[in-house]
A and B are shown apart, each in its own frame.
Chain A
Amino acid sequence: EVQLVESGGGLVQPGRSLRLSCRTSGFKFGDYAMTWYRQAPGKGLEWVGFIRAKTYGATTEYGPSVSGRFAISGDYSRGVAYLQMNNLQIDDTAMYYCTLVHGIYWGQGTLVTVSS
């Protein structure tokens, strides 16, 4: 059974950093792309970015609102995907979800609140 479990969210001040983790099980982590999405309170879905499968070089792409500030990586020995978020802004407040490929399976999400 595929399982995705996010962690690492919390309250952070503007300008600070936070790293989210997505622990995976039930599939071979390096064989699939992993995508992060977010959803601000009461709002719609937004694509954050993805990391390609290891076979495709584990390269990454990002949405325009996070490009240059966020970075996705993976620990292939532990089956964990990471979302490193730097220079966080108020507008980054959202529930963050990791997903398998483009959204075949989803975690339960982890809430990030950016506030002074």
Chain B
Amino acid sequence: DAGVIQSPRHEVTEMGQEVTLRCKPISGHDYLFWYRQTMMRGLELLIYFNNNVPIDDSGMPEDRFSAKMPNASFSTLKIQPSEPRDSAVYFCASSHSSIEGNDGYTFGSGTRLTVV
């Protein structure tokens, strides 16, 4: 099992450019989560999907952020246009059931995004 796979590992882009982050969850997991981690705010949930359907996107900071999950094995987080304050590490995580009592909540290695 390769775990949750994220790409790219690092992304440096200029302000105003579009950025797309990718995630492949663990096969069989039906929940997928996107998190953002910064020094100031720690880990924050942006959005999560259940069976490819977005359930709650209340953590998405603004309309510049969008996420899709076209199938059970792939999800994207897009920022358009990007701004310097979007610089952070973005994590994808997946789980095979609801979180309650379940320790099968696996994070990817993250994408470090730098917007200059």
Answer yes or no: do A and B interact: no
